């Protein structure tokens, strides 16, 4: 009784086919993972843009409601940065 692996050419052919199937499965898995990653990144980008827009609007409202305090704070931070830079 002869097994299919008694013939080296048949064994090599079967191994090659198995390898091709494995590569195809890995490629498909990679495509699915890339699709999921793309969707997750797109979702994260959208959330970050929404939060940034909300933060910018809140900052704009705060500055418009308290213009003199905002100028004072900006001036103070500028002086502090200037002092720190000149210390070196």
Decide which of 46 and 23 is more confident: 46
- Give the separation between CA 13 and CA 62, rounded to whole angstroms: 73
- What DSSP string describes 20-64? HHHHHHHHHHHHHHHHHHHHHHHHHHHHHHHHHHHHHHHHHHHHH
Q: Which of 25-29, 47-51, 63-67 has the lowest mean pLDDT?
A: 25-29
Tokens of 6: 């008694």
Q: Which pTM value belongs to this model?
A: 0.54
- What pLDDT is attached to residue 1? 47
Average pLDDT score, the chain: 89
- Give the separation between CA 40 and CA 31, rounded to whole angstroms: 14
- Give the separation between CA 57 and CA 7, rounded to whole angstroms: 75
User: Which pLDDT tens digit goes with each residue over 6-42?
Assistant: 777 777 778 888 888 888 889 888 999 999 999 999 9
């Amino acid at each position: 009784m002869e097994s299919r692996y008694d013939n080296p050419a048949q064994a090599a052919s079967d191994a090659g086919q198995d390898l091709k199937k494995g590569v195809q499965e890995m490629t498909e898995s990679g495509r699915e993972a890339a699709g999921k990653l793309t969707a997750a990144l797109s979702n994260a980008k959208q959330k970050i843009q929404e939060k940034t827009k909300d933060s910018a609007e809140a900052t704009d409202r705060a500055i418009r409601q308290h213009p003199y305090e905002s100028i004072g704070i900006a001036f103070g931070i500028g002086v502090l940065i200037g002092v720190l830079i000149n210390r070196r």
